[in-house]
Amino acid sequence: MVASDVEDVEMKSVDGEGVREAAGAETKDADALTLEDIREHARLLEKSVASKEPRFAMRVLRTLPTTRRRLNPAVVRRLIEGFYTHSPAERDNLLKFAGGRVTDETNEATFKPLRNLKHTASPLLPEVDVYLNLLVLLRALDSGDHALAADCSDALMDKVVSLDRRTLDAISAKCYFYHARCYELTNKLATIRNFLHRRLRTCTLRNDFEGQAVLLNCLLRNYLSQSLYDQADKLVSKCQFPPSASNNELARYMYYLGRIKAIQLEYSAAQRHLTQALRKAPQHAAVGFKQTVQKMLVTVELLLGEIPDRQTFRQNHMRKALGPYFELTLALKTGNLQGFSDTLSAHGAKFQRDDTYTLIVRLHRNVVKTAIRMIASAYSRIPLRDVAAKLMLDSPEDAEFVVAKAIRDNVIEAVINHDEGYVQSKDVQDLYCTKEPQQAFHHRISFCLDIHNQSVKALRFPPKSYHKDLEESAAERREREQQDLEYAKELAEDDDEY
């Protein structure tokens, strides 16, 4: 997840707080609804454990972003009080993280055990326990007190690590993610690297694919945020991304891969990964993520000497974010050195924030190249002095040097007449005599085939569908159909996860 998205979410939560204080009565109802939903979540988790069907747990987790938005201190407090009826110590422990003021009247009046009366004394199911903990952690994160959130996530990690249950995998994967997030916010990323490595190993041993994917991404993010590209690259080369991990994780992974490759000068690989990241990302949501990927992608494409489609910059949600990059592209396209350095100085800070600055600095060469190419195609013969003026170089000697290099790099076909100080371009070859069109064609075809293959791979088939019709009764079928509907709805919301 990218910083900007998280900021989005946080801003909303702050807004939410303001609104809540304005209309007390309404929120009470809303709180009650939230509580009821979370109770339903707990029930689903129990069902998931009982029937060993991970899909119920997945449903709960899919609604996590929505649930997160609806959390507030009051809800969290009541959750803790309602669920942790069996152990006051644990309850008090969690209440520390819940935040909000302790108002006695709400406490007394609204306290009601959220669990089945029969089981109030028995310990919670670990899955439910961890899930509730996670909700508390999310609340702590949203409250803005990162140190508190880090403490909370430490406690949660202790719990997760001590448990070894396959039914817990999906939930703990989420927990890892937020744990890493907490430490990123508190700027202590280096300290958890070892922990993440250890968990990654455990997940690999236990075939916990989701956890593996999340941890791998967390580690990569960790390394990249400290510019440890070498480490990240080595990790990637030694680990296999689990093929059955979710698309969202895969998109993230691709993005990180793209960044690593870009820094290592493997631009075409980087482009491939970034494109895939963009394609794997949710369609309608995760705007922040897509913007970030797009920025990186544009930069990489520019480095490759390609000019991205204008369409890319025109999309509604991209227009603003990609503004500076658009300027950059224009400068590059026209070989406008002045424009390039202007853009660089104007938006340098922004580029640095986007982690693209380093790459953009490398673009300088490309700008010069383009400029020379344009000069060469415009003039069959031009004095070096003029070239120097056009390229804003100090002396004709500099220009000569630059042009010579361009000739050597096969950027232009020209000859320098040193004595008389001019550049003589050769005639432009007929492109269609070369293999160029063929290669371009091949490139497109392979791209199409690739997309086709990937979409076939991405198709999901329901498991054991072949005797689905046989074993269900009418009631079961009704339930299934209803679930399908819900599932479709959730899929639409799925994008919120970003």
Partner 1 sequence: MDVSNIPSYVTIPAGIALTLFAVRKFRERSWGWCKSVRDMSGKCVLVTGASSGLGEATVVELAQRNARVIMACRDEAKARAAVERIRKLTKSGDLIAMHVDMKSLGSVVEFAKKVKQDNENAPGVEPRTEDGLEILFGVNHLAHFVLVKELLPLLMEESAPSRVVVMASSLYASGKAMFDAEKLESSVRRPKLRNSLYCDSKMANVLFMRELARRLEATSVNAYAVCPGWCNTNLFRHSNYSIVKKLMLAPILFWFMRSAKQGCQTIVHCTTEESLGNDSGKMFKDVKEYPLIPYAMDEKLARDFWDYTDQLAKDLLKKHVDYMNASCDDSAIANVNDSLQLTSQDLRRTVLVLICVVYCRKTFMVLLSLGENRISFVLLVCANLVAEMHVTSAAGILAWLDEPVPELQVFTLQKLNEVVDEFWAEISEHIEKIEVLYEDKNFSHRNLAALVASKVFYHLGSYQDSLYFALGAAGLFDVNSSSQYVTTIVAKCIDHYTKLRLVKIAKEKKALGKAFDDGNFVITGQPELIPSESVMLTLSGLDGGRKMDAISRPMNPNEPVDPRLEQIVDRMFQRCFDHGQFKQALGIALETRRMDVFEKSILSSDDVLGMLSYAFKVTMSLIDERQFRNEVLRTLVNLYRSLPGNPDYVSMSQCLIFLDDPEAVAELLLKILSGASEDSEVMAYQLAFDLYESATQQFLGKVLDALRTMSNITFKIPTSHSTVEKAEEKVEAKIEEKMDTDEANVEDGAEPKPPAVKSQADTVLDDAEKVKKTKLEKLATILCGDVPISLYLQFLIKSNHTDMMILKNTKDQVRVSVCHTATVVANGFMHCGTTSDQFLRDNLDWLSRANNWARFSATASLGVIHKGHEKDALALMQAYLPKESGGGGGGTSASASGYSEGGGLYALGLIHANHGAAITKYLQESLTTSTSPFVRHGGCLGLGLAAMGSQRLDILELLKEQLFQDDAVTGEAAGIAMGLVMLGSNDGDVVHEMITYAQETQHEKILRGLAIGLAMIVYGRLEDAEPVIVKLTTDKDPILRRSGMYSIAMAYAGTGNNGAIKRLLHVAVSDVNEDVRRAAVESLGFLLFRTPDQMPSVVSLLAESYNPHVRYGAAMALGIACAGTGLQSAITLLDPLTNDQVNYVRQGALVASALVLIQQSETSNPKVKEMRNTYSKVLSDKHEDVMAKFGAILAQGIIDAGGRNMTVSLQSRTGHMHMMSVVGMLVFTQFWYWFPLSHFLSLAFTPTTIIGVTAELKMPKVQIRSAAKPSLYAYPAPLQEKKKEEREKVTTAVLSITAKQNRRRRNLADFMEVDKEERKEKEEKEKEKKEREKKEEEEREKKKKEDEPHFEILENPARVLKPQLNVVSLEGSRYKPVKDISQGGFVVLTDNSPKDPQDLVEPVAAMGPQLEPEGDEPPPPQPFHYPDD
Contacts of 434 (CB under 8 A, 6+ apart): none
User: By C-alpha distance, which of 111, 115, 114 is closest to 103?
Assistant: 111
* Positions 44 through 103 that interact with partner 1 (CB under 8 A): none
In 3-state terms, what secondary structure has residue 434?
coil
Per-residue string for binding with partner 1, 137-176, x by CB under 8 A?
----------------------------------------
Q: How many residues bind partner 1 (CB under 8 A)?
A: 38
Please report how close the Cβ of residue 105 comes to partner 1 at its closest, in angstroms: 48
Contacts (Cβ under 8 Å, ≥6 apart) of 344: 351, 360, 361
Coil, helix or strand for 494? helix
Q: Which of residues 234-253 bind partner 1 (CB under 8 A)?
A: 234-235, 237-239
The nearer residue to partner 1, 201 or 314, going by C-beta atoms, is: 201
Cβ closest to partner 1, residue 149 vs residue 260: 260
Q: Is 33 in the site for partner 1 (CB under 8 A)?
A: no
Of 357, 374, 386, 421, the residue at the interface with partner 1 (CB under 8 A) is: 357
CA angle 410, 412, 417 (to 5 degrees): 110
100 burial via Cβ count (<10 Å: 0-12, 13-18, 19+): middle
What residues from 171 to 230 belong to the interface with partner 1 (CB under 8 A)? Answer: 190, 193-194, 197-198, 201-202, 204-205, 226-228, 230
Residue 92's CB: how many other CB atoms inside 10 A? 11
Q: Tell the smallest beta-carbon distance from residue 25 to partner 1 (Å).
A: 48
Q: Which is nearer to partner 1, 436 or 472 (CB)?
A: 472
Are 97 and 137 within 8 A, CB to CB?
yes
Shortest distance (Å) from residue 260 CB to partner 1? 12
**Which listed residue (401, 421, 487, 490) binds partner 1 by CB under 8 A?**
401
What CA–CA distance (Å, rounded) separates 479 from 312? 44
Segment 453-492, which members bind partner 1 (CB under 8 A)? Answer: 466-467, 470-471
Backbone angles phi, psi at 147, to 5 degrees: -65, -45
Shortest Å distance, C-beta 190 to partner 1: 8
Question: Quick one: 110 or 202, whose CB is closer to partner 1?
Answer: 202
**Only segment of 125-133, 209-217, 284-292, 357-365 that touches partner 1 (CB under 8 A):** 357-365
Decide: 235 and 200 in contact? Cβ < 8 Å.
no
Mind giving me the DSSP string for 6-19? HHHHHHHHHHHHHH
Could you tell me the smallest distance in angstroms from the CB atom of residue 252 to partner 1?
A: 19
Query: Which CB, 137 or 274, lies closer to partner 1?
Result: 274
Residue 104 structure tokens: 């006695």
Least distance from C-beta 460 to partner 1, angstroms? Answer: 21
What track of x and - describes contact with partner 1 for positions 303 through 342 (by CB under 8 A)?
A: ----------------------------------------
Provide the minimum distance between the beta carbon of 116 and partner 1 in the complex, in angstroms, as a whole number.
Answer: 25
Identified binder of partner 1 from the candidate list 151, 398, 490, 495, rule CB under 8 A: 398
Judged by beta carbon, residue 161 or residue 374, the one nearer partner 1 is: 161
Number of Cβ atoms within 10 Å of the Cβ of 439: 10
User: Minimum distance between the CB of residue 204 and partner 1, rounded to whole angstroms?
Assistant: 6
Q: Which is nearer to partner 1, 226 or 377 (CB)?
A: 226
Helix, strand, coil percentages in the chain from 3-state DSSP, rounded to 5: 75, 0, 20
Q: Which is nearer to partner 1, 231 or 312 (CB)?
A: 231
Site string for partner 1, 259-288 (x = CB under 8 A): ----x-x-----------------------
Angle at 290 between CA 457 and CA 449, to 5 degrees: 30
Q: Are 369 and 358 in contact (CB under 8 A)?
A: no
* Distances from the Cα of 124 to the Cα of 86, 373, 403, 430, 466, angstroms: 8, 70, 74, 76, 37
Rounded least distance, CB 189 to partner 1, Å: 11
Task: Choose between 394 and 427: whose C-beta lies nearer to partner 1.
Answer: 394
Alpha-carbon gap, residue 481 to 476, rounded angstroms: 9
> Tokens 């309404």, residue?
26
The alpha-carbon radius of gyration of the chain (Å, integer) is 28
Task: Report how far residue 498's alpha carbon sits from residue 494's, in angstroms, rounded to the nearest whole number.
Answer: 8
CB of 319 to partner 1, least distance (A): 26
- Closest approach of Cβ 341 to partner 1, in Å? 11
Helices then strands (H, E): number in the chain? 26, 3
CA distance 175 to 160: 8
Which residues are paired to 417 by β-bridges? 422
Instruction: Give the x/- contact pattern for partner 1 in 358-397, rule: CB under 8 A.
Output: xx-xx-xx--x-------------------------x---
Give the interface with partner 1 as residue ranges (CB under 8 A). 190, 193-194, 197-198, 201-202, 204-205, 226-228, 230-231, 234-235, 237-239, 263, 265, 352, 355, 357-359, 361-362, 364-365, 368, 394, 398, 401, 466-467, 470-471
